[in-house]
A = this chain, B = another copy of it.
Protein backbone atom coordinates (compact mmCIF):
# COMPACT_ATOMS: atom_id res chain seq x y z
CA UNK A 1 0.00 0.00 0.00
CA UNK A 2 2.98 2.31 0.60
CA UNK A 3 3.57 4.67 -2.28
CA UNK A 4 7.22 5.60 -2.58
CA UNK A 5 7.87 9.19 -3.69
CA UNK A 6 4.43 10.49 -2.73
CA UNK A 7 5.18 14.17 -3.09
CA UNK A 8 4.65 14.78 -6.81
CA UNK A 9 1.07 13.56 -6.45
CA UNK A 10 0.20 16.17 -3.76
CA UNK A 11 -1.92 18.79 -5.50
CA UNK A 12 -2.92 22.35 -4.58
CA UNK A 13 -6.33 21.26 -3.32
CA UNK A 14 -4.80 18.75 -0.91
CA UNK A 15 -2.53 21.33 0.70
CA UNK A 16 -5.08 24.12 0.91
CA UNK A 17 -7.82 21.69 2.00
CA UNK A 18 -5.70 20.29 4.83
CA UNK A 19 -4.88 23.79 6.08
CA UNK A 20 -8.48 25.01 5.93
CA UNK A 21 -9.78 21.86 7.62
CA UNK A 22 -7.26 22.18 10.47
CA UNK A 23 -8.18 25.84 10.97
CA UNK A 24 -11.89 25.03 10.84
CA UNK A 25 -11.31 22.41 13.54
CA UNK A 26 -9.41 24.98 15.66
CA UNK A 27 -12.30 27.41 15.16
CA UNK A 28 -14.85 24.89 16.38
CA UNK A 29 -12.70 23.94 19.38
CA UNK A 30 -12.30 27.61 20.30
CA UNK A 31 -16.03 28.08 19.97
CA UNK A 32 -16.75 25.16 22.28
CA UNK A 33 -14.25 26.38 24.90
CA UNK A 34 -15.67 29.90 24.65
CA UNK A 35 -19.16 28.62 25.24
CA UNK A 36 -18.03 26.50 28.18
CA UNK A 37 -16.16 29.34 29.87
CA UNK A 38 -19.12 31.66 29.33
CA UNK A 39 -21.46 29.07 30.86
CA UNK A 40 -19.19 28.47 33.86
CA UNK A 41 -18.75 32.21 34.37
CA UNK A 42 -14.93 31.88 34.36
CA UNK A 43 -14.67 34.66 31.82
CA UNK A 44 -11.25 36.14 32.51
CA UNK A 45 -8.48 33.75 31.49
CA UNK A 46 -10.11 30.80 29.76
CA UNK A 47 -12.63 32.93 27.91
CA UNK A 48 -9.94 35.23 26.54
CA UNK A 49 -7.79 32.32 25.42
CA UNK A 50 -10.77 30.66 23.72
CA UNK A 51 -11.78 33.91 22.03
CA UNK A 52 -8.18 34.48 20.93
CA UNK A 53 -7.84 31.08 19.29
CA UNK A 54 -11.31 31.49 17.76
CA UNK A 55 -10.27 34.84 16.23
CA UNK A 56 -6.93 33.43 15.09
CA UNK A 57 -8.61 30.56 13.26
CA UNK A 58 -11.21 32.89 11.74
CA UNK A 59 -8.44 35.20 10.46
CA UNK A 60 -6.47 32.29 9.03
CA UNK A 61 -9.50 30.92 7.20
CA UNK A 62 -10.56 34.30 5.81
CA UNK A 63 -6.97 35.20 4.88
CA UNK A 64 -6.45 31.92 3.05
CA UNK A 65 -9.77 32.26 1.27
CA UNK A 66 -8.63 35.70 0.06
CA UNK A 67 -5.15 34.65 -1.07
CA UNK A 68 -6.17 31.32 -2.63
CA UNK A 69 -9.64 32.42 -3.72
CA UNK A 70 -9.39 30.93 -7.25
CA UNK A 71 -8.55 27.48 -5.83
CA UNK A 72 -11.88 27.43 -3.97
CA UNK A 73 -15.47 27.85 -5.06
CA UNK A 74 -15.11 31.62 -5.27
CA UNK A 75 -18.66 32.74 -4.49
CA UNK A 76 -18.77 30.48 -1.43
CA UNK A 77 -15.33 31.73 -0.36
CA UNK A 78 -16.34 35.36 -0.72
CA UNK A 79 -19.44 34.88 1.37
CA UNK A 80 -17.76 32.97 4.18
CA UNK A 81 -14.83 35.40 4.22
CA UNK A 82 -17.13 38.41 4.74
CA UNK A 83 -18.85 36.67 7.63
CA UNK A 84 -15.59 35.61 9.28
CA UNK A 85 -14.21 39.17 9.08
CA UNK A 86 -17.39 40.43 10.74
CA UNK A 87 -17.14 37.79 13.47
CA UNK A 88 -13.46 38.23 14.29
CA UNK A 89 -13.71 42.02 14.42
CA UNK A 90 -16.76 41.77 16.72
CA UNK A 91 -14.91 39.36 19.00
CA UNK A 92 -11.76 41.49 18.94
CA UNK A 93 -13.30 44.67 20.35
CA UNK A 94 -13.88 43.51 23.89
CA UNK A 95 -10.38 42.14 24.21
CA UNK A 96 -8.93 45.29 22.64
CA UNK A 97 -10.54 47.60 25.20
CA UNK A 98 -9.33 45.44 28.09
CA UNK A 99 -5.79 45.29 26.67
CA UNK A 100 -5.79 49.04 26.02
CA UNK A 101 -6.75 49.78 29.61
CA UNK A 102 -4.00 47.43 30.88
CA UNK A 103 -1.46 49.13 28.63
CA UNK A 104 -2.46 52.63 29.73
CA UNK A 105 -2.47 51.69 33.42
CA UNK A 106 0.97 50.13 33.12
CA UNK A 107 2.25 53.24 31.36
CA UNK A 108 0.73 55.57 33.97
CA UNK A 109 2.28 53.51 36.73
CA UNK A 110 5.67 53.71 35.02
CA UNK A 111 5.34 57.42 34.22
CA UNK A 112 4.38 58.43 37.73
CA UNK A 113 7.52 56.81 39.11
CA UNK A 114 6.06 53.39 39.72
CA UNK A 115 7.56 51.32 42.49
CA UNK A 116 11.07 51.50 41.09
CA UNK A 117 12.45 54.84 42.16
CA UNK A 118 11.06 57.32 44.65
CA UNK A 119 11.10 60.70 42.92
CA UNK A 120 11.62 63.59 45.32
CA UNK A 121 11.62 66.46 42.86
CA UNK A 122 10.02 68.07 39.85
CA UNK A 123 8.35 66.31 37.03
CA UNK A 124 7.48 62.88 38.34
CA UNK A 125 5.97 64.36 41.47
CA UNK A 126 3.74 66.70 39.49
CA UNK A 127 2.75 63.76 37.35
CA UNK A 128 1.67 61.67 40.31
CA UNK A 129 -0.89 64.31 41.26
CA UNK A 130 -2.76 63.88 38.00
CA UNK A 131 -1.96 60.31 37.08
CA UNK A 132 -4.30 58.77 39.64
CA UNK A 133 -7.18 60.85 38.32
CA UNK A 134 -6.17 60.21 34.73
CA UNK A 135 -6.15 56.49 35.50
CA UNK A 136 -9.61 56.67 37.05
CA UNK A 137 -10.91 58.58 34.03
CA UNK A 138 -9.44 56.12 31.53
CA UNK A 139 -10.71 53.18 33.54
CA UNK A 140 -14.23 54.61 33.54
CA UNK A 141 -14.23 55.33 29.81
CA UNK A 142 -12.59 52.09 28.67
CA UNK A 143 -14.57 49.89 31.03
CA UNK A 144 -17.75 51.41 29.64
CA UNK A 145 -16.57 50.73 26.07
CA UNK A 146 -15.58 47.21 27.05
CA UNK A 147 -18.94 46.50 28.65
CA UNK A 148 -20.67 47.70 25.50
CA UNK A 149 -18.60 45.42 23.29
CA UNK A 150 -19.15 42.52 25.68
CA UNK A 151 -22.90 43.01 25.14
CA UNK A 152 -22.32 43.26 21.39
CA UNK A 153 -20.32 40.01 21.48
CA UNK A 154 -23.04 38.18 23.40
CA UNK A 155 -25.64 39.50 20.97
CA UNK A 156 -23.53 38.43 18.00
CA UNK A 157 -22.96 34.93 19.41
CA UNK A 158 -26.70 34.48 19.86
CA UNK A 159 -27.60 35.70 16.37
CA UNK A 160 -28.79 33.70 13.38
CA UNK A 161 -25.92 35.25 11.44
CA UNK A 162 -23.41 33.71 13.83
CA UNK A 163 -25.04 30.29 13.71
CA UNK A 164 -24.84 30.38 9.93
CA UNK A 165 -21.10 31.10 10.12
CA UNK A 166 -20.57 28.31 12.64
CA UNK A 167 -22.47 25.90 10.41
CA UNK A 168 -20.40 26.90 7.38
CA UNK A 169 -17.17 26.37 9.30
CA UNK A 170 -18.44 22.99 10.54
CA UNK A 171 -18.94 21.96 6.91
CA UNK A 172 -15.46 23.30 6.09
CA UNK A 173 -13.94 21.08 8.80
CA UNK A 174 -14.87 18.01 6.85
CA UNK A 175 -15.25 19.13 3.25
CA UNK A 176 -13.60 22.14 1.58
CA UNK A 177 -15.47 23.44 -1.51
CA UNK A 178 -12.69 23.63 -4.11
CA UNK A 179 -12.49 24.68 -7.74
CA UNK A 180 -12.21 21.36 -9.54
CA UNK A 181 -9.63 22.48 -12.10
CA UNK A 182 -7.37 24.72 -10.01
CA UNK A 183 -7.33 22.32 -7.07
CA UNK A 184 -5.80 19.57 -9.23
CA UNK A 185 -2.82 21.76 -10.18
CA UNK A 186 0.61 21.33 -8.66
CA UNK A 187 1.35 23.34 -5.51
CA UNK A 188 4.23 25.14 -7.24
CA UNK A 189 2.04 26.08 -10.18
CA UNK A 190 -1.05 27.21 -8.25
CA UNK A 191 -0.53 28.04 -4.56
CA UNK A 192 3.03 29.38 -4.68
CA UNK A 193 2.28 32.08 -7.29
CA UNK A 194 -0.87 33.14 -5.37
CA UNK A 195 1.15 33.40 -2.15
CA UNK A 196 3.71 35.44 -4.08
CA UNK A 197 0.99 37.91 -5.05
CA UNK A 198 0.16 38.43 -1.37
CA UNK A 199 3.85 38.93 -0.64
CA UNK A 200 4.23 41.45 -3.48
CA UNK A 201 1.30 43.43 -2.13
CA UNK A 202 2.94 43.49 1.30
CA UNK A 203 6.31 44.55 -0.12
CA UNK A 204 4.72 47.40 -2.06
CA UNK A 205 2.91 48.65 1.05
CA UNK A 206 6.11 48.45 3.11
CA UNK A 207 8.08 50.29 0.44
CA UNK A 208 5.45 53.03 0.39
CA UNK A 209 5.71 53.66 4.14
CA UNK A 210 6.96 57.17 4.96
CA UNK A 211 10.63 57.26 5.85
CA UNK A 212 11.54 57.31 9.52
CA UNK A 213 13.20 60.72 9.23
CA UNK A 214 10.33 62.66 7.75
CA UNK A 215 7.83 62.03 10.52
CA UNK A 216 7.43 63.25 14.04
CA UNK A 217 6.09 61.01 16.74
CA UNK A 218 2.93 62.86 17.73
CA UNK A 219 1.42 62.82 14.30
CA UNK A 220 -1.06 60.02 13.74
CA UNK A 221 -1.44 60.80 10.02
CA UNK A 222 0.57 57.79 8.93
CA UNK A 223 -0.94 55.25 11.30
CA UNK A 224 -3.41 53.99 8.70
CA UNK A 225 -0.67 52.99 6.30
CA UNK A 226 1.04 51.06 9.07
CA UNK A 227 -2.20 49.32 10.03
CA UNK A 228 -2.60 48.31 6.39
CA UNK A 229 0.90 46.80 6.42
CA UNK A 230 -0.05 44.89 9.56
CA UNK A 231 -3.08 43.45 7.76
CA UNK A 232 -1.09 42.54 4.64
CA UNK A 233 1.66 40.95 6.72
CA UNK A 234 -0.93 38.71 8.37
CA UNK A 235 -2.36 37.65 5.02
CA UNK A 236 1.17 36.93 3.79
CA UNK A 237 1.99 34.98 6.94
CA UNK A 238 -1.13 32.80 6.76
CA UNK A 239 -0.46 32.06 3.09
CA UNK A 240 3.06 30.90 4.01
CA UNK A 241 1.65 28.88 6.90
CA UNK A 242 -0.71 27.12 4.51
CA UNK A 243 2.30 26.20 2.36
CA UNK A 244 4.12 24.86 5.43
CA UNK A 245 6.84 27.52 5.31
CA UNK A 246 8.68 28.93 8.30
CA UNK A 247 6.88 32.09 9.48
CA UNK A 248 9.03 32.94 12.52
CA UNK A 249 10.24 36.25 11.09
CA UNK A 250 6.78 37.24 9.88
CA UNK A 251 5.36 36.42 13.31
CA UNK A 252 8.00 38.57 15.06
CA UNK A 253 7.43 41.45 12.63
CA UNK A 254 3.70 41.05 13.18
CA UNK A 255 4.14 41.32 16.93
CA UNK A 256 5.92 44.65 16.42
CA UNK A 257 2.97 45.84 14.32
CA UNK A 258 0.53 44.60 16.96
CA UNK A 259 2.41 46.73 19.50
CA UNK A 260 2.27 49.59 16.99
CA UNK A 261 -1.48 49.32 16.68
CA UNK A 262 -2.01 48.94 20.45
CA UNK A 263 0.17 51.97 21.23
CA UNK A 264 -1.52 54.09 18.56
CA UNK A 265 -4.96 53.21 19.93
CA UNK A 266 -3.83 53.84 23.50
CA UNK A 267 -2.46 57.26 22.50
CA UNK A 268 -5.78 58.06 20.84
CA UNK A 269 -7.69 56.94 23.94
CA UNK A 270 -5.53 59.25 26.06
CA UNK A 271 -6.19 62.18 23.71
CA UNK A 272 -9.92 61.40 23.79
CA UNK A 273 -9.95 61.30 27.58
CA UNK A 274 -8.21 64.69 27.65
CA UNK A 275 -11.17 66.16 25.78
CA UNK A 276 -13.54 65.18 28.60
CA UNK A 277 -15.19 68.39 29.83
CA UNK A 278 -14.31 69.82 33.24
CA UNK A 279 -11.28 67.66 34.04
CA UNK A 280 -8.59 69.11 36.30
CA UNK A 281 -5.44 70.55 34.67
CA UNK A 282 -3.29 67.99 36.51
CA UNK A 283 -5.38 65.20 34.97
CA UNK A 284 -5.03 66.72 31.50
CA UNK A 285 -1.27 67.14 32.03
CA UNK A 286 -0.88 63.45 32.93
CA UNK A 287 -2.94 62.48 29.87
CA UNK A 288 -0.66 64.64 27.71
CA UNK A 289 2.44 62.90 29.05
CA UNK A 290 0.70 59.56 28.55
CA UNK A 291 -0.26 60.42 24.99
CA UNK A 292 3.31 61.42 24.13
CA UNK A 293 4.63 58.28 25.80
CA UNK A 294 2.38 56.03 23.74
CA UNK A 295 3.27 57.87 20.53
CA UNK A 296 6.91 57.17 21.34
CA UNK A 297 5.97 53.52 21.75
CA UNK A 298 4.45 53.80 18.28
CA UNK A 299 7.78 55.05 16.95
CA UNK A 300 9.69 52.33 18.79
CA UNK A 301 7.41 49.68 17.29
CA UNK A 302 7.99 51.08 13.79
CA UNK A 303 11.71 50.95 14.43
CA UNK A 304 11.45 47.36 15.68
CA UNK A 305 9.43 46.35 12.63
CA UNK A 306 12.03 47.83 10.28
CA UNK A 307 14.80 46.07 12.18
CA UNK A 308 13.06 42.72 11.89
CA UNK A 309 11.55 42.95 8.46
CA UNK A 310 13.71 45.10 6.22
CA UNK A 311 16.92 43.70 4.73
CA UNK A 312 19.84 44.31 7.09
CA UNK A 313 21.97 47.24 5.93
CA UNK A 314 25.61 46.63 5.05
CA UNK A 315 27.54 46.29 8.29
CA UNK A 316 30.10 48.81 7.08
CA UNK A 317 29.72 51.58 9.62
CA UNK A 318 29.31 49.31 12.60
CA UNK A 319 27.48 52.10 14.37
CA UNK A 320 24.09 51.83 15.95
CA UNK A 321 21.13 53.81 14.72
CA UNK A 322 18.83 55.91 16.82
CA UNK A 323 15.18 56.12 15.79
CA UNK A 324 14.59 59.83 15.54
Give, as a whole number of angstroms, the nearest-CB distance from A140 to chain B.
16
Q: Which residues of B contact A291 (CB under 8 A)?
A: 123, 285, 288-289, 292
Size of the A side of the interface (Cβ < 8 Å), in residues, is 58
Q: Which residues of B contact A242 (CB under 8 A)?
A: none
A121 to B218, CA, bound (A): 12
Return the contact of A322 from the options B220, B275, B278, B303 (Cβ within 8 A).
B303
Q: Across the two chains, which residue of chain B brings its CB closest to A118?
A: B221
Contact pattern, A 243-284, Cβ under 8 Å of B = 1, otherwise 0: 000000000000000000000000110010011001111111
- Number of copies of this chain that the complex holds: 2
Known A-B contacts A288-B288, A288-B292, A289-B288; A218 and B322 likewise in contact (beta carbons under 8 Å): no
Q: Which residues of B contact A285 (CB under 8 A)?
A: 274, 284-285, 287-288, 291
Q: Which residues of B contact A293 (CB under 8 A)?
A: 218, 292
Interface residue? A127 (CB, 8 A)? yes
Q: Which residues of B contact A289 (CB under 8 A)?
A: 218, 288-289, 291-292
Give, as a whole number of angstroms, the nearest-CB distance from A131 to chain B.
10
Q: Across the two chains, which residue of chain B brings its CB closest to A129?
A: B275
Interface residue? A163 (CB, 8 A)? no
A interface with B by C-beta (< 8 Å): 110-111, 113-114, 116-117, 119-124, 126-127, 130, 216-221, 267-268, 271, 274-275, 278-293, 295-296, 300, 303-304, 307, 312-313, 315, 318-324
Write 27 A-B pairs (CB below 8 A) sorted by A numbering.
A110-B216, A117-B219, A117-B221, A119-B220, A119-B221, A120-B221, A121-B221, A123-B220, A123-B295, A126-B275, A127-B218, A127-B271, A218-B289, A218-B293, A278-B281, A284-B284, A285-B291, A286-B288, A288-B288, A288-B289, A288-B291, A289-B289, A289-B292, A300-B324, A304-B322, A307-B322, A315-B318
